[in-house]
Structure 1
Amino acid sequence: MERSQNVTEAEAKAEKQLLRPHRKIAYALGNFFTVLAIAVWFPYNISFFQFVLGLSAKNAGNIVLIAQVGGAISTPLVGMWSDKCSCKIPGRRKIFHLIGLITLALVMFFLWYKCLGCSDASEVYQVIYFCCFAIIFQFSWASIQIGQLALLPEICVQKRTQVQLNSLRYSFTIIANLVVFGCFWLLLKFYSDDSSKNTGDKPLTPDDLNIFLIMSAVVIGLGFPSSLLFQFLIPEKVNVNLAKQTWYKWIVNPRFYL
């Protein structure tokens, strides 16, 4: 879907009144929870499953692979459901953003802790267990990202404002990665029994399970309330005049690939 390129003076003025500085920050924080969680997931998932939980390298890779497949399937589905959604409170975009926040907060502890009730069982059961939560994690990620990004052309019509909001959003992505890196460094240096691990001389061990549990609490404690500001401060217009496009028109549209 795309909006007409003609921006009237009245629309520009209304947009300026709507997107005050505190609301721009709230929009940029809309996916802060997601990028914190992703900053933990992608760099450390294989090491966690293999060295902390003791799974084989093959099964650790299978969990990550299935999670990525789940993300590839859930992302377009969430986009289609969001377009067809008629929810007015909090809005067809914000409802998926809210669902993503809640499910991500619930899944973080299960994803970064040992298999509850099956930690001593066969690896097959553990792989199934973590695959389920990894797929939910990917669905949560897609819901938050799509809920935030799809709302951008509906709350602002000026390209300059859209670029500004995306720039702020990316700035918090960088901050989130630095926060996760710094927290892991501090935990490995001061919380771990083996202080040499922070130098990379030794791999992680099962004794480091609590480090990932603490990191999950940090991600939820920082990310969830920050991204929740998006729900309270960013209004969603109910009846927005958008021109619908078929999937074929999107594919042949050069701007889709920019």
Structure 2
Amino acid sequence: MQRSIHSISSDYTEIVRRLPLRLRFAYGVGHVMNDICASMWFTYILVFFHSVLKFSAALSGVVMLIGQVADALATPFIGLQCDRNDDFWLCRYGKRKTWHLLGTVGVVFSFPFIFSPCIKCEGSHQWAQLVYYAGFVIIFQFGWAAVQISHLSLIPDLTPSEHERTELTAIRYSFTVCSNVLVYCITWAVLHITSDTASNSQIGPKDAPHFQTVVIIGLAVGAWASLIFHIYVKEQGTSDTTGPQRRNTRSVGTILMDIQFYKVAGVYMPTRLFVNLSQVYIPLYLHDYLKMVATSLAVVPLTMFLSSFITSLIIERLNTKLGRKVSYFIGVMLGLTACVWIRLGNGKMYTTYEIYLVSMLLGASGSVMLVTSLGITADLIGQSSDSGAFVYGAMSFTDKLSNGLAVMAIQSMKCLSDCPAYYRDVIIYACGGSAVFGLVMVLLMKPFVYDDDDKNSMISATTNSKIIDE
């Protein structure tokens, strides 16, 4: 009996041992280009279109809505296609890595045009310019979705261990934070060092070349990171469906009939709303309500993501020791504390010192909530990694669509007259409400139930992880 257990463990030792530090690093940097572009998209897209290109608030919201809807529609399609085992020659490169490569190309050749003035149509009507930008936004979002889904769905493929998956998710998020920090450092340097205008000036049409510079530098870094990913991450073959490494499969219909699937979506969607809406509206809150200088639009988000990075280093241990529900609860409490502080904060002391403490709370909260929600999603997939891309695609569909509709609604309801407190209230109630909703859904979740093969696989993988650690 002992020999049999040891035999099963040794089979999974091979799987766990395929995750050396070099592979984990290479996997982590595989999403850097997406993270850099997402940071620019969520933090500065409304600022760029509204303050630089002088689009109306509602029309700026339409630009983001187009992108989010395009992303939402692309993710389920890409998820289904990414799970297919085709014999097409390009797919022999790896079904996940092929989509990652195609998406990377789409992002590189579309994103620079979004943060540039309309080529040969700068003086055209804003609706005409909207059509021009919409084309590039759709291409960018399709490419971004391809990279995101293929990268996420590699996690269940690389390891069957729950702790290993959480660690990979935490590493991935650490690089996400590093990418955001890089963007804000570059933005600060470009706006502060290369700007010829006064240091206390706010964002305006003169800053269009500065945004282009930030995008070009960011894409160059992202391209190198993607190259490292494609060189060092080797996707496992899927033709062998027998033996101890066999993955269990579930049809799309089975997944859609699982009530846990919708509960997980109910956690993932508000978590993403909290993270993305805070990222989108913090710069507008600083610009419109607090009247802070242009460089603060880089420094405050930078502080937020430095806090996220530090927090991400302990999330895996937090989830392991306290569990998913307690970890998520801690994240929500940090976020609600920040929302209350924003509501009460005012005056010179607040804008000079306290706003940075608030941003640290928002960053730590988003980090804990997001990594925990991704861990819950990986738990849902279990050993059915062949359907992993569809699950991540479906989660992303709810995320993108809800974010697009939320931003559009928020921008449409903004008063035409001066209402500086509007974006402050958006952060308080939209972000705070999202966090509370996510917590309610987490508390309603029941433990995941796996079939016998799943249980044996996960027990063996977990046991084997302990053997290797020892």
What is the TM-score of this pair, normalised by structure 1? 0.89
| Cα separation, partners in 2 of 1:212 and 1:9, compared to 1, 3 Å | same
Alignment of 1:179-258 (within 5 A): 179-197=182-200, 202-239=201-238, 241-251=246-256, 252=258, 254=260, 257=264, 258=376
Indicate the residue corresponding to 2:161 in structure 1. 158
Indicate the residue corresponding to 2:181 in structure 1. 178
Deviations 1:174-206 (A, max 9, x none): 111111112111111111222335xxxx43222
Instruction: Name stretches of at least 5 consecutive residues in structure 2 with no aligned partner.
Output: 1-6, 265-375, 377-470
2:64 aligned with 1:64: yes
Measured after TM superposition, the shift of residue 26 of structure 1 is 0.3
| Cα separation, partners in 2 of 1:203 and 1:171, compared to 1, 3 Å | same
Measured after TM superposition, the shift of residue 105 of structure 1 is 1.1
Mark the structure with the bigger radius of gyration: 2
CA distance in 1, matches of 2:58, 2:85: 40
Indicate the residue corresponding to 1:3 in structure 2. none
2:26 aligned with 1:21: no
CA distance in 1, matches of 2:203, 2:92: 45
Say which SS state the counterpart of residue 92 (structure 2) adopts: coil
| Cα separation, partners in 2 of 1:11 and 1:143, compared to 1, 3 Å | farther
Instruction: Name stretches of at least 5 consecutive residues in structure 1 with no aligned partner.
Output: 1-6
CA distance in 2, matches of 1:195, 1:26: 42
CA distance in 2, matches of 1:192, 1:11: 59
Please say if residues 111 and 137 of structure 2, whose CA atoms lie closer than 8 Å, have aligned partners that are also in contact.
Answer: no
2:132 aligned with 1:129: yes
Measured after TM superposition, the shift of residue 138 of structure 1 is 1.4
CA distance in 2, matches of 1:157, 1:10: 14
Please say if residues 29 and 226 of structure 1, whose CA atoms lie closer than 8 Å, have aligned partners that are also in contact.
Answer: yes
What is the TM-score of this pair, normalised by structure 2? 0.50
CA distance in 1, matches of 2:55, 2:143: 25
2:149 aligned with 1:146: yes
CA distance in 2, matches of 1:85, 1:137: 25
Q: Name the amino acid aligned to 1:103.
A: G
Q: Name the amino acid aligned to 1:36.
A: I
Q: Identity over aligned residues, as a percent?
A: 27
After superposition, the CA RMSD in angstroms is 1.9
Deviations 1:209-258 (A, max 9, x none): 11111111111111111122221111112225333323343241526713
Greater length-normalized contact order (CA 8 Å, ≥ 6 residues apart) = 1
Say which SS state the counterpart of residue 186 (structure 1) adopts: helix
| Cα separation, partners in 2 of 1:16 and 1:195, compared to 1, 3 Å | farther
Measured after TM superposition, the shift of residue 8 of structure 1 is 3.0
CA distance in 2, matches of 1:152, 1:231: 15
Q: Name the amino acid aligned to 1:111.
A: I
